[in-house]
A and B are shown apart, each in its own frame.
Chain A
């Protein structure tokens, strides 16, 4: 474990806590893409298949459980909770995320560490995580004004993978057998997708104005 990875995990956890806060405090999920939340729930379920077979550390197991439970709870809440689901922007959240699912799975069948069930699902979760934010970014551009908590949620979600890239650079130089090309390249793509969001987020923070993404 290194500081970059720990900081990345904490930012990831913070993004989920901010989202939970927004939904439970405002009893609203306006501006949140259900499709992105469904994709994230799938990412964790596909990646943590080894949750009960490979014990790495207490921290690792607890964080995996937190991510699986929180992501499924958010999807459940946006679909089933009578109050919350009323504020879901169904007509704006129209990104065809099934294409992202199919493309990620097809790529995982072609490019993976080993052609085994667990490795293919791990690669699938890595590719899917890289593109899972797209429905959310499209929804933000369509809904124009972004409320603070939603903006902070997307910001922390983007920052976490940027810290993971620093972690991979650090591990590459400090560990002999370290090579994670699949995660690294996918992580770069994932962070790059946030580039324009980070730019407009920085501008709104600098000018102390409401965050607006150009349509």
Chain B
């Protein structure tokens, strides 16, 4: 989902 892709960064 959208939010998961947002939190793949450090």
- Which of A's residues lie within 8 Å of B, judged by CB? 5, 9, 12, 50, 54, 56-57, 60, 63-64, 67, 113-114, 119, 122, 164, 167, 175, 177-178, 180, 183
Contact = CB atoms under 8 A, between A and B. Distances in A.
Contact of B5 (A9, A122, A178): A178
Give chain B's interface residue range (CB within 8 Å of chain A). Answer: under 10
Interface string B1-10: 0111111111
Contacts, number: 28
A180 B4 CA distance: 12
Interface of B: 2-10
Nearest to A50: B7
17 contacts: A9-B10, A12-B10, A50-B7, A54-B7, A56-B7, A56-B8, A60-B8, A60-B10, A64-B10, A113-B3, A113-B6, A122-B7, A167-B9, A175-B5, A177-B2, A178-B5, A180-B6
